[in-house]
């Protein structure tokens, strides 16, 4: 299969996955209600994190080293490696099953939910194992398809399961989702599970993959701990539901919007440079500068739009509006982390980003336990977002020093300052704008009366002012503005003859 067709397949299934997650965020919370959704969040978050922790780097070992043996035609070694990894996977799952039963018994879940959770956790573990083999053989499209298929199937099965059998039926439906994915995975890699095997020293493989496993684990662990802390301090699955909906909505939009910013990076710019290092330095500097310009605009658009979306589509989660807005402050930090951690991972020095994530996690835990009992879900959301800023700053600083990368400090400082001033100014305009509207247009929800004008003001007036000020302060040149425009919009560029 060609690289082009494989890339196209990955793009298609990624879009499907994003669409399914988007529908999930609106449909499932509204269907379940805050309390049932809180229980569902605890179960699904725990199954995911238990699966990742018990992996111990097996999945990464397979998809990093199977291609090396496949290139040399060493099919026996591939089967030997898979066989040893499979044995370790079975051994590592057992203690986590015991831990799961004890943990969820303390939370007061009934035996049916506990048993279903164990089945989902085990299913996810082996789904990841099977599809990592497919990825190792170059079928990366199938590896990505697994995530898209899980998102689509969960949306459909949860809807049917909850409608027919309630909460227990919904959670059991997730067992069926993982069962279908296992069948699909077995069909893909059945030839690698049987046949002659050569002995391999598994420890040498896993030692190399362990740092990448830790890196992949820390981010979902961060999110899982925020869910557990929310439940611990509020002692309410309803509050967990409110917090999780707001964070999931904000996280989804932040990651999606930051990906737009990263997609608008200057990959279309022809940089005539002498060497690879110089090219990487230029690309990172330009990418960071463009992201610093794009992120505040998009972030403020969505912050003003969030209350309208939640009010109109999921009004039962109005309490989550501030949580979603807080989590949208991720847009720039997560984009920045993606750019600099991408260089770090490409250079195979994951210890740099591991240190940054550990620092971020430490900051989050220590601060959340200090203020969580007094501030509730809003305080935890602020600490969560602050932790992401800590990670972005740490990753950027360490990567810049290690690889001598440039960071456009002036542009970042000017753009964030201007965006903050404009955002605060629009918020201060709320009373003189909203009061006349409330008087003139009765029988309209207050959120709509307030946030529609603010959104339109930012869209029509604030964004052009923001860009003009950036150019006036020389934080952005006219040529760079044009490049950003050409990168985002498919405009035909006139070539000089």
> Mind listing the pLDDT tens digit for each residue in 26-71?
899 999 999 999 999 999 999 989 888 888 888 888 877 878 777 7
Asked whether the beta carbons of 240 and 231 are under 8 A apart, the reply is yes
Instruction: Find tokens 């402050």 and name the residue.
Output: 329
Q: Which residues of the chain have pLDDT under 70?
A: 1-11, 14, 138-143, 195, 256-277, 430-449, 486-497
Torsion of CA 347, 348, 352, 357, to 10 degrees: 120
Q: Are 427 and 420 in contact (CB under 8 A)?
A: no
Could you give the CA distance from residue 160 to residue 174 in angstroms, rounded to a whole number?
A: 11
pLDDT of residue 270: 35
User: Where do the structural domains in the chain lie, given as residue ranges?
Assistant: 1-200, 409-488
Residues 404-435 pLDDT 10s: 888 888 888 898 899 888 888 877 776 666 66
The pLDDT of residue 257 is 65
Q: Which residue has 């298609």 as its token pair?
A: 12
pLDDT at 163: 93
Closest to 255 in 3D by CA, of 313, 319, 302, 310: 302
Degrees (nearest 5) of the Cα angle 286, 218, 408? 15
Rounded to whole angstroms, the Cα distance separating 252 from 24 reads 11
H runs (alpha helix) in 314-429? 321-327, 331-346, 351-403, 409-428
pLDDT of the residue at 230: 92
CA dihedral 218, 140, 330, 487 (to 10 degrees): 150
Neighbours of 464 (CB within 10 A): 10
Largest CA distance in the chain: 80
**Angle formed at CA 410 by CA 388 and CA 343, multiple of 5 degrees:** 50
User: Global pTM?
Assistant: 0.84
User: Per the structure block, which two tokens stand in for 23?
Assistant: 């529908």
What is the pLDDT at residue 264?
46
Res 277: pLDDT: 67
């Amino acid at each position: 299969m060609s690289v082009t067709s494989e890339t196209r397949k990955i793009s298609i299934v990624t879009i499907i996955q994003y669409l399914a997650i988007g529908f999930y965020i609106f449909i499932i919370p509204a269907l379940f209600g805050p309390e049932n959704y809180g229980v569902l969040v605890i179960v699904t978050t725990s199954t995911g994190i238990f699966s990742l922790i018990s992996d111990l780097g097996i999945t990464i070992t397979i998809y990093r080293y199977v291609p090396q043996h496949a290139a040399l035609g060493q099919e026996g070694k591939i089967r030997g490696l898979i066989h040893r990894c499979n044995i370790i996977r079975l051994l590592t799952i057992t203690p986590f099953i015991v831990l799961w039963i004890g943990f969820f018994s303390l939370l007061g879940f009934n035996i049916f939910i506990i048993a279903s959770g164990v089945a989902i956790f085990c299913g996810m573990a082996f789904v990841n194992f099977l599809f990592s083999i497919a990825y190792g053989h170059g079928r990366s499209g199938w590896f990505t398809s697994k995530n898209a298929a899980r998102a689509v199937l969960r949306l459909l099965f949860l809807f049917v399961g909850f409608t027919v059998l309630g909460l227990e039926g919904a959670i059991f439906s997730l067992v069926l989702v993982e069962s279908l994915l296992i069948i699909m995975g077995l069909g893909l890699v059945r030839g690698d599970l049987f046949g002659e095997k050569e002995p391999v020293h598994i420890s040498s493989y896993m030692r190399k993959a362990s740092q990448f496993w830790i890196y992949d684990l820390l981010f979902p662990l961060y999110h899982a701990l925020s869910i557990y802390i929310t439940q611990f301090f509020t002692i309410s699955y309803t509050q967990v539901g409110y917090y999780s909906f707001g964070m999931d909505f904000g996280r989804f939009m932040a990651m999606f919007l930051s990906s737009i910013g990263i997609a608008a990076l200057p990959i279309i710019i022809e940089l005539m440079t002498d060497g690879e290092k110089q090219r990487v330095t230029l690309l990172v500097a330009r990418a960071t500068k463009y992201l610093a310009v794009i992120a505040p605009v998009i972030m403020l658009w969505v912050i003003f739009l969030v209350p309208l979306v939640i009010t109109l589509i999921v009004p039962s989660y109005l309490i989550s509006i501030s949580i979603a807005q807080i989590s949208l402050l991720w847009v720039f930090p997560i984009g920045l982390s993606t750019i600099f951690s991408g260089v770090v991972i490409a250079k195979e020095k994951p210890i740099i980003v591991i240190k940054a994530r550990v620092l971020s996690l430490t900051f989050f835990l220590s601060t959340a336990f200090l203020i969580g009992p007094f501030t509730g879900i809003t305080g935890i959301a602020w600490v969560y977002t602050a932790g992401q800023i800590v990670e972005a700053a740490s990753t950027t600083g360490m990567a810049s020093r290690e690889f001598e990368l440039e960071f456009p400090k002036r542009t970042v400082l000017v753009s964030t300052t201007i965006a903050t001033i404009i955002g605060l100014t629009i918020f201060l305009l709320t009373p003189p704008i909203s009061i006349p509207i409330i008087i003139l247009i009765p029988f309209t929800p207050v959120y709509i009366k307030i946030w529609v004008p603010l959104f339109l003001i930012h869209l029509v007036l604030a964004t052009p002012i923001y860009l003009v000020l950036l150019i006036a302060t020389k934080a952005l040149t006219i040529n760079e503005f044009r490049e950003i425009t050409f990168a985002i919009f498919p405009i035909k560029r006139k070539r000089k003859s």
